[in-house]
Structure 1
Amino acid sequence: MAPLRRLCLCLCLPLLLPPPAAPAPTPRTDWAACGSLSRELSRLVATLKEPYRVLEETHLSEEDPENWPPRIRCSDACDPSTLDTNNTRCLRRILQGLQHYQDLLGSDIFTERPLPQLETTLARLLGLVQQEHGRPPRHPMAPSEAWAHAPLQRLALQRLQSFAAIMSRVFTHSASAR
Protein backbone atom coordinates (compact mmCIF):
# COMPACT_ATOMS: atom_id res chain seq x y z
CA MET A 1 0.00 0.00 0.00
CA ALA A 2 2.89 2.34 0.69
CA PRO A 3 4.02 2.45 -2.98
CA LEU A 4 0.47 3.28 -4.05
CA ARG A 5 0.31 6.06 -1.45
CA ARG A 6 3.61 7.53 -2.71
CA LEU A 7 2.40 7.41 -6.28
CA CYS A 8 -0.80 9.18 -5.29
CA LEU A 9 1.15 11.87 -3.41
CA CYS A 10 3.49 12.37 -6.36
CA LEU A 11 0.57 12.82 -8.72
CA CYS A 12 -1.53 15.02 -6.41
CA LEU A 13 1.23 17.19 -4.96
CA PRO A 14 1.51 19.44 -8.05
CA LEU A 15 -2.22 20.12 -7.77
CA LEU A 16 -1.77 21.33 -4.19
CA LEU A 17 1.10 23.68 -4.96
CA PRO A 18 0.44 27.24 -6.16
CA PRO A 19 0.84 27.72 -9.91
CA PRO A 20 4.23 29.00 -11.02
CA ALA A 21 4.46 32.73 -11.43
CA ALA A 22 4.00 33.87 -14.99
CA PRO A 23 7.06 35.56 -16.47
CA ALA A 24 6.83 39.31 -16.39
CA PRO A 25 5.78 40.61 -19.80
CA THR A 26 8.51 42.46 -21.57
CA PRO A 27 7.40 45.92 -22.63
CA ARG A 28 7.05 46.44 -26.35
CA THR A 29 7.70 49.59 -28.29
CA ASP A 30 4.52 51.51 -29.05
CA TRP A 31 5.31 52.21 -32.70
CA ALA A 32 2.28 54.42 -33.30
CA ALA A 33 3.04 56.63 -30.28
CA CYS A 34 6.72 56.82 -31.27
CA GLY A 35 5.70 57.79 -34.80
CA SER A 36 3.44 60.53 -33.52
CA LEU A 37 6.06 61.92 -31.14
CA SER A 38 8.83 61.77 -33.74
CA ARG A 39 6.66 63.72 -36.20
CA GLU A 40 5.94 66.24 -33.43
CA LEU A 41 9.67 66.53 -32.73
CA SER A 42 10.35 67.15 -36.44
CA ARG A 43 7.62 69.79 -36.54
CA LEU A 44 8.95 71.55 -33.45
CA VAL A 45 12.52 71.69 -34.73
CA ALA A 46 11.33 72.96 -38.13
CA THR A 47 9.41 75.84 -36.54
CA LEU A 48 12.36 77.17 -34.54
CA LYS A 49 13.57 80.55 -35.74
CA GLU A 50 17.25 81.37 -35.90
CA PRO A 51 17.81 84.32 -33.54
CA TYR A 52 21.06 85.32 -35.29
CA ARG A 53 20.33 86.23 -38.92
CA VAL A 54 23.99 85.96 -39.91
CA LEU A 55 23.86 82.22 -39.16
CA GLU A 56 20.88 81.62 -41.45
CA GLU A 57 23.10 81.66 -44.52
CA THR A 58 25.99 79.86 -42.86
CA HIS A 59 26.66 76.19 -43.43
CA LEU A 60 28.32 74.71 -40.37
CA SER A 61 30.28 71.50 -40.30
CA GLU A 62 32.26 69.68 -37.69
CA GLU A 63 35.93 69.00 -38.35
CA ASP A 64 36.21 65.75 -36.39
CA PRO A 65 33.99 63.09 -38.04
CA GLU A 66 34.75 60.66 -35.19
CA ASN A 67 33.01 63.02 -32.79
CA TRP A 68 29.78 63.38 -34.75
CA PRO A 69 26.50 62.64 -33.05
CA PRO A 70 24.82 59.30 -33.66
CA ARG A 71 23.25 59.03 -37.09
CA ILE A 72 20.99 56.42 -38.55
CA ARG A 73 23.06 54.61 -41.16
CA CYS A 74 22.34 51.77 -43.57
CA SER A 75 24.24 49.41 -41.28
CA ASP A 76 21.72 50.12 -38.50
CA ALA A 77 19.11 47.92 -40.21
CA CYS A 78 16.37 50.56 -40.20
CA ASP A 79 15.18 49.65 -43.70
CA PRO A 80 11.58 48.35 -44.00
CA SER A 81 12.47 44.74 -44.84
CA THR A 82 14.76 44.38 -41.82
CA LEU A 83 12.47 46.26 -39.43
CA ASP A 84 9.71 43.73 -40.06
CA THR A 85 11.89 40.86 -38.86
CA ASN A 86 14.37 42.37 -36.37
CA ASN A 87 14.25 45.95 -35.16
CA THR A 88 16.62 45.72 -32.18
CA ARG A 89 19.70 47.28 -33.80
CA CYS A 90 17.69 50.12 -35.30
CA LEU A 91 15.94 50.92 -32.02
CA ARG A 92 19.24 50.90 -30.16
CA ARG A 93 20.66 53.44 -32.63
CA ILE A 94 17.56 55.60 -32.26
CA LEU A 95 17.84 55.34 -28.48
CA GLN A 96 21.51 56.34 -28.65
CA GLY A 97 20.66 59.36 -30.81
CA LEU A 98 17.75 60.48 -28.63
CA GLN A 99 19.93 60.26 -25.52
CA HIS A 100 22.65 62.29 -27.27
CA TYR A 101 20.25 65.06 -28.26
CA GLN A 102 18.65 65.12 -24.81
CA ASP A 103 22.11 65.55 -23.28
CA LEU A 104 22.89 68.25 -25.83
CA LEU A 105 19.69 70.20 -25.16
CA GLY A 106 20.50 70.06 -21.44
CA SER A 107 24.07 71.25 -21.93
CA ASP A 108 25.52 74.73 -21.46
CA ILE A 109 25.05 75.71 -25.11
CA PHE A 110 21.29 75.95 -24.55
CA THR A 111 21.30 77.72 -21.15
CA GLU A 112 20.58 81.12 -22.69
CA ARG A 113 18.05 79.70 -25.14
CA PRO A 114 16.22 76.82 -23.45
CA LEU A 115 13.74 74.91 -25.59
CA PRO A 116 11.37 73.32 -23.03
CA GLN A 117 8.74 72.09 -25.50
CA LEU A 118 11.39 70.40 -27.63
CA GLU A 119 13.03 68.89 -24.53
CA THR A 120 9.68 67.56 -23.26
CA THR A 121 8.78 65.91 -26.56
CA LEU A 122 12.25 64.41 -26.85
CA ALA A 123 12.06 63.08 -23.27
CA ARG A 124 8.64 61.48 -23.91
CA LEU A 125 9.90 59.78 -27.07
CA LEU A 126 13.05 58.64 -25.28
CA GLY A 127 10.90 57.18 -22.50
CA LEU A 128 8.86 55.14 -24.97
CA VAL A 129 11.93 53.68 -26.67
CA GLN A 130 13.67 53.04 -23.33
CA GLN A 131 10.82 50.82 -22.12
CA GLU A 132 12.12 47.92 -24.17
CA HIS A 133 15.79 48.71 -24.62
CA GLY A 134 16.91 50.28 -21.35
CA ARG A 135 18.96 53.38 -20.84
CA PRO A 136 22.14 53.86 -22.90
CA PRO A 137 25.22 55.27 -21.19
CA ARG A 138 25.20 59.03 -20.91
CA HIS A 139 28.05 61.13 -22.20
CA PRO A 140 27.91 64.58 -20.63
CA MET A 141 28.78 67.40 -22.97
CA ALA A 142 32.02 69.23 -22.33
CA PRO A 143 31.56 72.92 -21.52
CA SER A 144 32.01 75.24 -24.47
CA GLU A 145 33.03 78.86 -24.86
CA ALA A 146 30.20 81.38 -24.64
CA TRP A 147 31.01 82.82 -28.09
CA ALA A 148 30.47 79.35 -29.64
CA HIS A 149 26.99 78.74 -28.22
CA ALA A 150 25.00 80.24 -31.11
CA PRO A 151 26.81 78.33 -33.89
CA LEU A 152 26.75 75.11 -31.83
CA GLN A 153 23.01 75.53 -31.23
CA ARG A 154 22.41 75.94 -34.95
CA LEU A 155 24.52 72.87 -35.76
CA ALA A 156 22.81 70.78 -33.07
CA LEU A 157 19.33 71.75 -34.22
CA GLN A 158 20.14 71.08 -37.89
CA ARG A 159 21.39 67.61 -37.01
CA LEU A 160 18.45 66.94 -34.71
CA GLN A 161 16.11 67.89 -37.55
CA SER A 162 17.81 65.41 -39.90
CA PHE A 163 17.82 62.68 -37.26
CA ALA A 164 14.16 63.30 -36.41
CA ALA A 165 13.10 63.13 -40.07
CA ILE A 166 14.70 59.72 -40.60
CA MET A 167 13.51 58.45 -37.22
CA SER A 168 9.97 59.55 -38.05
CA ARG A 169 10.06 57.54 -41.29
CA VAL A 170 11.23 54.46 -39.38
CA PHE A 171 8.46 54.73 -36.79
CA THR A 172 5.78 55.56 -39.36
CA HIS A 173 6.67 52.53 -41.47
CA SER A 174 6.78 50.22 -38.47
CA ALA A 175 3.50 51.52 -37.04
CA SER A 176 1.71 50.91 -40.37
CA ALA A 177 3.24 47.43 -40.71
CA ARG A 178 1.91 46.29 -37.31
Structure 2
Amino acid sequence: MAPLRRLCFCLWLPLLLPPPAAPAPAPTPTPAPVPRPDWAACRSLSRELSRLVATLKEPHRVLEETHLSEEDPKNWPPRIRCSDACDPSTLDTNNTRCLRRILQGLQHYRDLLGSDIFTARRLPQLEAALDQLLGLVQQEHGRPPRRPVAPSAAWEHALLQRLALQRLQSFAAIMSRVFTHSASPR
Protein backbone atom coordinates (compact mmCIF):
# COMPACT_ATOMS: atom_id res chain seq x y z
CA MET A 1 0.00 0.00 0.00
CA ALA A 2 2.90 2.34 0.68
CA PRO A 3 3.99 2.34 -2.97
CA LEU A 4 0.44 3.16 -4.06
CA ARG A 5 0.19 5.96 -1.51
CA ARG A 6 3.55 7.29 -2.61
CA LEU A 7 2.40 7.23 -6.24
CA CYS A 8 -0.82 9.11 -5.39
CA PHE A 9 1.15 11.58 -3.35
CA CYS A 10 3.52 12.18 -6.27
CA LEU A 11 0.61 12.67 -8.64
CA TRP A 12 -1.28 15.04 -6.33
CA LEU A 13 1.72 16.97 -5.05
CA PRO A 14 2.00 19.24 -8.10
CA LEU A 15 -1.69 20.09 -7.78
CA LEU A 16 -1.27 21.03 -4.12
CA LEU A 17 1.76 23.24 -4.64
CA PRO A 18 1.32 26.84 -5.78
CA PRO A 19 1.85 27.28 -9.49
CA PRO A 20 5.33 28.32 -10.48
CA ALA A 21 5.80 32.02 -10.98
CA ALA A 22 5.40 33.13 -14.54
CA PRO A 23 8.70 34.05 -16.07
CA ALA A 24 9.32 37.76 -15.97
CA PRO A 25 8.58 39.26 -19.35
CA ALA A 26 11.70 40.17 -21.23
CA PRO A 27 12.07 43.90 -21.26
CA THR A 28 11.01 45.23 -24.61
CA PRO A 29 13.78 47.24 -26.09
CA THR A 30 12.81 50.84 -26.42
CA PRO A 31 13.27 51.98 -29.97
CA ALA A 32 16.23 54.22 -30.44
CA PRO A 33 15.10 57.78 -31.01
CA VAL A 34 15.08 58.62 -34.68
CA PRO A 35 17.50 61.44 -35.30
CA ARG A 36 15.80 64.54 -36.58
CA PRO A 37 17.46 66.69 -39.18
CA ASP A 38 19.29 69.71 -37.92
CA TRP A 39 16.68 72.21 -39.09
CA ALA A 40 18.91 75.24 -38.69
CA ALA A 41 21.68 73.61 -40.74
CA CYS A 42 19.14 72.56 -43.39
CA ARG A 43 17.81 76.12 -43.52
CA SER A 44 21.31 77.53 -43.93
CA LEU A 45 22.32 75.01 -46.60
CA SER A 46 19.08 75.38 -48.55
CA ARG A 47 19.54 79.15 -48.60
CA GLU A 48 23.11 78.66 -49.78
CA LEU A 49 21.90 76.30 -52.51
CA SER A 50 19.32 78.87 -53.65
CA ARG A 51 21.97 81.57 -53.69
CA LEU A 52 24.40 79.41 -55.67
CA VAL A 53 21.82 78.51 -58.31
CA ALA A 54 20.71 82.13 -58.63
CA THR A 55 24.28 83.34 -59.22
CA LEU A 56 25.04 80.88 -62.01
CA LYS A 57 25.58 82.60 -65.32
CA GLU A 58 24.18 81.05 -68.46
CA PRO A 59 27.17 80.26 -70.69
CA HIS A 60 25.03 80.46 -73.83
CA ARG A 61 23.58 83.97 -74.08
CA VAL A 62 20.88 82.80 -76.50
CA LEU A 63 19.34 80.65 -73.75
CA GLU A 64 19.12 83.45 -71.18
CA GLU A 65 15.74 84.62 -72.43
CA THR A 66 14.48 81.15 -73.26
CA HIS A 67 11.86 79.49 -71.12
CA LEU A 68 11.99 75.75 -71.52
CA SER A 69 9.26 73.32 -70.69
CA GLU A 70 8.89 69.61 -71.08
CA GLU A 71 5.74 68.17 -72.56
CA ASP A 72 5.93 64.69 -71.02
CA PRO A 73 4.84 64.89 -67.33
CA LYS A 74 6.20 61.37 -66.70
CA ASN A 75 9.73 62.73 -67.03
CA TRP A 76 9.26 65.62 -64.66
CA PRO A 77 11.57 65.65 -61.67
CA PRO A 78 10.24 65.32 -58.14
CA ARG A 79 8.43 68.47 -57.08
CA ILE A 80 7.08 69.56 -53.75
CA ARG A 81 3.31 69.46 -54.13
CA CYS A 82 0.42 70.25 -51.82
CA SER A 83 -0.11 66.53 -51.25
CA ASP A 84 3.42 66.26 -49.79
CA ALA A 85 2.26 67.88 -46.54
CA CYS A 86 4.95 70.55 -46.50
CA ASP A 87 2.57 73.23 -45.24
CA PRO A 88 3.37 74.77 -41.83
CA SER A 89 0.44 73.21 -39.96
CA THR A 90 1.33 69.68 -41.08
CA LEU A 91 5.09 70.14 -40.64
CA ASP A 92 4.56 70.82 -36.96
CA THR A 93 2.89 67.45 -36.41
CA ASN A 94 4.31 65.10 -39.05
CA ASN A 95 7.08 65.99 -41.47
CA THR A 96 7.90 62.50 -42.77
CA ARG A 97 6.17 62.75 -46.15
CA CYS A 98 7.58 66.20 -46.81
CA LEU A 99 11.13 65.15 -45.93
CA ARG A 100 10.87 62.10 -48.17
CA ARG A 101 9.86 64.31 -51.10
CA ILE A 102 12.70 66.72 -50.38
CA LEU A 103 15.14 63.83 -50.17
CA GLN A 104 13.83 62.47 -53.48
CA GLY A 105 14.29 65.85 -55.14
CA LEU A 106 17.76 66.41 -53.72
CA GLN A 107 18.86 62.98 -54.91
CA HIS A 108 17.38 63.63 -58.36
CA TYR A 109 19.23 66.91 -58.80
CA ARG A 110 22.45 65.46 -57.41
CA ASP A 111 22.22 62.61 -59.93
CA LEU A 112 21.60 65.15 -62.72
CA LEU A 113 24.67 67.18 -61.76
CA GLY A 114 26.75 64.00 -61.91
CA SER A 115 25.34 62.89 -65.27
CA ASP A 116 26.66 63.37 -68.80
CA ILE A 117 24.55 66.52 -69.11
CA PHE A 118 27.03 68.37 -66.88
CA THR A 119 30.23 66.63 -68.04
CA ALA A 120 31.56 69.74 -69.76
CA ARG A 121 30.28 72.10 -67.06
CA ARG A 122 30.90 70.74 -63.59
CA LEU A 123 29.42 72.75 -60.72
CA PRO A 124 31.41 71.59 -57.67
CA GLN A 125 29.97 74.14 -55.21
CA LEU A 126 26.43 73.17 -56.15
CA GLU A 127 27.28 69.48 -55.90
CA ALA A 128 28.84 70.02 -52.47
CA ALA A 129 25.79 71.91 -51.19
CA LEU A 130 23.47 69.15 -52.45
CA ASP A 131 25.69 66.49 -50.85
CA GLN A 132 25.61 68.28 -47.49
CA LEU A 133 21.84 68.69 -47.58
CA LEU A 134 21.43 65.06 -48.60
CA GLY A 135 23.58 64.04 -45.64
CA LEU A 136 21.43 65.99 -43.20
CA VAL A 137 18.07 64.79 -44.52
CA GLN A 138 19.20 61.18 -45.07
CA GLN A 139 19.86 60.68 -41.36
CA GLU A 140 16.17 60.09 -40.82
CA HIS A 141 14.98 58.62 -44.08
CA GLY A 142 17.87 56.73 -45.61
CA ARG A 143 18.95 56.97 -49.19
CA PRO A 144 16.23 56.94 -51.85
CA PRO A 145 16.69 54.64 -54.81
CA ARG A 146 18.86 56.16 -57.49
CA ARG A 147 17.47 56.41 -60.95
CA PRO A 148 20.13 56.64 -63.61
CA VAL A 149 19.81 59.64 -65.87
CA ALA A 150 19.31 58.61 -69.48
CA PRO A 151 22.21 59.61 -71.70
CA SER A 152 21.54 62.52 -73.99
CA ALA A 153 23.00 63.82 -77.22
CA ALA A 154 25.77 66.39 -76.90
CA TRP A 155 23.71 69.05 -78.68
CA GLU A 156 21.01 68.76 -75.96
CA HIS A 157 23.34 69.34 -73.00
CA ALA A 158 23.08 73.14 -72.92
CA LEU A 159 19.27 72.99 -73.12
CA LEU A 160 19.01 70.25 -70.50
CA GLN A 161 21.41 72.09 -68.17
CA ARG A 162 19.27 75.22 -68.43
CA LEU A 163 16.09 73.25 -67.73
CA ALA A 164 17.64 71.36 -64.81
CA LEU A 165 19.00 74.53 -63.20
CA GLN A 166 15.68 76.37 -63.60
CA ARG A 167 13.86 73.52 -61.90
CA LEU A 168 16.50 73.20 -59.20
CA GLN A 169 16.09 76.90 -58.46
CA SER A 170 12.34 76.50 -58.02
CA PHE A 171 12.76 73.37 -55.91
CA ALA A 172 15.41 75.03 -53.73
CA ALA A 173 13.18 78.06 -53.10
CA ILE A 174 10.30 75.93 -51.83
CA MET A 175 12.61 73.63 -49.87
CA SER A 176 14.20 76.67 -48.24
CA ARG A 177 10.77 77.87 -47.08
CA VAL A 178 10.07 74.47 -45.54
CA PHE A 179 13.38 74.46 -43.66
CA THR A 180 12.95 78.08 -42.58
CA HIS A 181 9.59 77.25 -41.02
CA SER A 182 10.91 74.09 -39.36
CA ALA A 183 13.95 75.88 -37.96
CA SER A 184 11.97 78.75 -36.47
CA PRO A 185 11.62 78.65 -32.68
CA ARG A 186 8.16 77.75 -31.48
Superposition TM-score, scaled by structure 2 size: 0.83
List runs of 5+ in structure 1 lacking aligned partners.
none
In structure 2, the residue matched to 1:89 is 97
**1:122 Cα shift?**
0.4
* CA spacing shift, 1:21–1:78, aligned 2, 3 Å: closer
**1:29 Cα shift?**
1.1
**1:20 Cα shift?**
8.6
Which ranges of 4 or more aligned residues in structure 1 deviate by more than 4 Å?
Answer: 19-23
Q: Which whole-Å deviations, capped at 9, do the CAs of 1:16-56 have from their partners, x for residues lacking one?
A: xxx99764332111111101000000000000000000000
List runs of 5+ in structure 2 lacking aligned partners.
1-16
Q: How does 1:32-51 map to 2 (within 5 A)?
A: 32-51=40-59
Superposition TM-score, scaled by structure 1 size: 0.87
Distance in 1, Cα, partners of 2:75 & 2:150:
12
Distance in 1, Cα, partners of 2:29 & 2:96:
27
Task: Tell me the matched-pair count.
Answer: 165
1:146 corresponds to which of 143, 148, 154: 154
Distance in 1, Cα, partners of 2:128 & 2:84:
26
Q: How does 1:13-28 map to 2 (within 5 A)?
A: 23-28=31-36
Letter in 1 for 2:182: S
**1:80 Cα shift?**
0.3
Could you say what secondary structure the match of 1:62 adopts?
coil
In structure 1, the residue matched to 2:115 is 107
Aligned-pair RMSD on alpha carbons? 1.8
Larger Rg: 2
Could you say what secondary structure the match of 1:123 adopts?
helix
